[in-house]
Structure 1
Amino acid sequence: MGKSKKQLREQYAATEAAKANNVQLETCNDAYTSGAFKYLRFLVHLLAAAQFSYGIYYHYFNVHWPKGLHEEDELKTRWGGKFKYLTFLDVIIQAIYHTLALLNDLFGDNTLNTASKSKLRIIRDYIFAAFAFPVAHNVCISFWVIYIWDRELIFPTALDAIFPSWLNHVVHTNVALLAIMDLFTCFRRYPSRLAGITGNVSFMLLYIIWMHIVRYFSGQWVYPLLEPLSMPMRYLMLVALLGFNLFCYLLGEVINSIVWEPEFKLLKQQKIKQS
């Protein structure tokens, strides 16, 4: 038995809707993967990778505590080196992320699609979601809030002589600003909530354990503001640090879904029509 006129009309409407969806998706894809948008994304990744790589180099080889410290003070500053600071670990994360993103721009896949087959892009997206975005905003917001409240607790005035202002902004300000710029210029799919939060929380728990190891061997907490606190208040602050980092993860996920909502809708519609 042949199809009724109603069924034919519905089939025709579905076919036309699928064609229109494909045209919209191709238009978005062309705008995203070529032209000014493509070069803007590449420029963000190139400048960020270069900036953070140089920041790591300068921080590690040119920023040193004053000579002539007492043996006890020298031990406190030497144990764990720069790697005991979340700020330094974060700038390493940013350099790794933007370098991967730059490599993906050159050799990987940036197309808007339902599922990327580029492993480089999948790794890039996971590092951004679980580590680069949340840790950058945790570091930036925590640092500047405490700095404004009482800078001696986190960045003593004595550091001004050995820690350049430009480097301070690279490691405490630009990490967040460039993560936001990347979020607006780089389409990505966040990992599953479980996978993303597991990586995010695991990183912060390992860092808190590392802080205790440094405290045990050096006799001093990494951050001076932890010294005068009672044990309950100290661990309440560490839990707050962990919780704020998780909040930054969820914030990144929400902003990403809002910024790229039209593209996600088109991809969802295409997936439904293909199934």
Structure 2
Amino acid sequence: MCKRVVLILYVTVLWYYCHSIVESRKFSRGVRAKLPKNLQFPSKFPTYFFTLWIFGVQTLFLCTAVLDELLQILTPKTKLQKSIQYVRHVTFSTIVFPCTLLVVTVFWTIWHIDRELIFPKALDDFYPAWLNHTMHTFILVPLVIEVAFSQTVDKYHVLERSLLGLLAFAGTYQTIYFFIYIRHGIWLYPIYGVLNWMQRIVFVLIKVIACTLYHYVGVALLTRNKTRPEPQKLL
């Protein structure tokens, strides 16, 4: 019964994500030309916002979780089901859990300090509030479902070196982000424009530290009540 409830929850969330993606694409095509001039240039690089990267990874994770839950009901403990479950746990602990918490905490912290540094008020006339909350608040829902209902797993299922994967993912994004500034002279997030280079480096380091801490919290939650004398290494 519990498996069916989890499956229904994930299918519902996945449907909402797909609906949000469709609406977001309509928004991008319909209002780009109407945006203020200072916001039109960043809108030409919609796929380079970290929020959208995480939303995309979450969507893939939801597909994996739905397939895993379905297989656990129909054909449990098969090689295919175990492989998909492994991908699900690794994706969740490596990227989904830490990066989602990073997006939520950084976005709303800066918003409450000065929203012009992260989401200018001028966007309110063009960007639906529900879509903003979908990208920066609702993304917590899959985390709650996974932590609350997913069976605890042994550490080797979560990948001992998943932290390296997380840092590689974050490093790749940050490199591309700075390249856009060097190539086009534009900061996709306004906060970078008011900081000097030393402050930008400190800001990035703070995010790396926060993401690392979130990673360990996610692994701890997934491996709760499980003990292994010497966790195996998969890489």
The verdict on a shared fold, with TM-score over 0.5 as the criterion, is yes
The question of 1:254 aligning with 2:220 is answered yes
Normalising by structure 1, we get a TM-score of: 0.73
- Partner of 1:124, secondary structure, is helix
Give the one of 159, 162, 168 matched to 1:192. Answer: 159
Which residue matches 1:161?
A: 125
Is the 8 Å Cα contact of residues 90 and 159 (structure 2) preserved in structure 1? no
Give the one of 22, 26, 29 matched to 1:61. Answer: 26
| Deviations 1:210-260 (CA, angstroms, capped at 9, x unpaired) | 1012112321111101112111111111111122111111111122334xx
Which residue matches 1:102?
A: 66
| Deviations 1:65-115 (CA, angstroms, capped at 9, x unpaired) | 343765x8644431xx211111111111111001111011123579998x9
- Partner of 1:118, secondary structure, is helix
| Deviations 1:140-166 (CA, angstroms, capped at 9, x unpaired) | 111111111111111111111111111
Provide the rounded CA distance (Å) in 2 between the counterparts of 1:69 and 1:117: 49
Q: RMSD in angstroms over aligned alpha carbons?
A: 2.6
Provide the rounded CA distance (Å) in 2 between the counterparts of 1:109 and 1:129: 23
Following superposition, the deviation at residue 183 of structure 1 comes to 1.3
Following superposition, the deviation at residue 60 of structure 1 comes to 2.6
Provide the rounded CA distance (Å) in 1 between the counterparts of 2:222 and 2:74: 16
Following superposition, the deviation at residue 192 of structure 1 comes to 3.1
Show the 5 A alignment for 1:219-230.
Answer: 219-230=185-196
Following superposition, the deviation at residue 44 of structure 1 comes to 2.0
Provide the rounded CA distance (Å) in 2 between the counterparts of 1:187 and 1:60: 36
Change in CA separation of 1:236 and 1:110 when aligned onto 2, cut-off 3 Å: farther
Give the one of 101, 104, 125 matched to 1:137. Answer: 101
Q: 1:246 is matched by which residue type in structure 2?
A: T
Normalising by structure 2, we get a TM-score of: 0.85
List alignment gaps of at least 5 residues for structure 1.
1-34, 269-275
Is the 8 Å Cα contact of residues 138 and 245 (structure 1) preserved in structure 2? yes
Provide the rounded CA distance (Å) in 1 between the counterparts of 2:48 and 2:139: 18
Is the 8 Å Cα contact of residues 109 and 116 (structure 1) preserved in structure 2? no
List alignment gaps of at least 5 residues for structure 2.
229-235
Q: 1:49 is matched by which residue type in structure 2?
A: L
Q: How many residues align?
A: 223
Change in CA separation of 1:93 and 1:135 when aligned onto 2, cut-off 3 Å: same
- Partner of 1:221, secondary structure, is coil
